[in-house]
Chains A and B, each alone.
Chain A
Amino acid sequence: AQTVTQSQPEMSVQEAETVTLSCTYDTSESDYYLFWYKQPPSRQMILVIRQEAYKQQNATENRFSVNFQKAAKSFSLKISDSQLGDAAMYFCAYRSYYITQGGSEKLVFGKGMKLTVNP
């Protein structure tokens, strides 16, 4: 079974600075998808960025980018020019590319990391 580990439960960053959130995962599969979700106090999970494992190019979405190291099974999220609105819980998640019979396309989540942005 796949597992996702976020080893840092909390981080803080100064507004306008850059912060990197770490995520590692364990899988025997060669193809899969990786996601970062943000959960503000409203509880609404919001997709931040996603990556296909067969793509070597790191995904970017405006101020958000990832450092995907497939061999190391690492998927870190970099937030540039941090804003107060970035304060939230951040979850790393994994989805299998191939679905086994009777299985599903569920997401496997890490335990999350709380990001505080200081003005």
Chain B
Amino acid sequence: GAGVSQSPSNKVTEKGKDVELRCDPISGHTALYWYRQSLGQGLEFLIYFQGNSAPDKSGLPSDRFSAERTGGSVSTLTIQRTQQEDSAVYLCASSSSGGYNSEFFGPGTRLTVL
């Protein structure tokens, strides 16, 4: 596609449920990032995929968070046993391979945990 797409756009779930957020990066982009944006805060790095290399998971806040990237393209961020503090906008971005190349962001998924 022309840009990074994310689905769903909005997700409301109950505390304790699992959720999956999807990201379709720009075709040909080898790097994919997930960020979290809580209300009134900047973006917080979660995880980074680059080609076939092992992902950088250093930003994941707890073991309830996980992500995978299949076939070097689509990525899914999974949050298990959601908590109210997980409520945020989850943004996905892709790039040719970082450095001076800027990241292209998707529109995000707004997650609300009741």
Binding site for B on A (CB under 8 A): 4, 6, 33, 35, 37, 42-47, 50, 52, 91, 93, 95, 97, 99, 102-112
Main secondary structure of the interface of A (DSSP, over half): loop
Contact of A33 among B35, B56, B100, B105 (CB under 8 A): B100
Asked if A107 contacts B43 (CB within 8 A), the reply is yes
Interface size class of B (residues with CB under 8 A): 20 to 34
Asked if B100 contacts A105 (CB within 8 A), the reply is no
Q: List, in ascending order, chain A residues with CB within 8 A of B105's CB.
A: 37, 44-46
Tell me, rounded to whole Å, the shortest Cβ–Cβ distance linking A10 to chain B: 11
Residue of A nearest to B46 (CB): A106
Asked if B56 contacts A50 (CB within 8 A), the reply is no
Residue of A nearest to B57 (CB): A104
How many A-B pairs with Cβ below 8 Å? Answer: 74
* Distance of A44 Cα from B107 Cα, bound (Å): 5
Contact of B99 among A6, A44, A105 (CB under 8 A): A105
Tell me, rounded to whole Å, the shortest Cβ–Cβ distance linking A17 to chain B: 26
Contact with A along B37-74 (1 / 0, CB 8 A): 00011111100101000101011000000000000000
Asked if A105 contacts B31 (CB within 8 A), the reply is yes
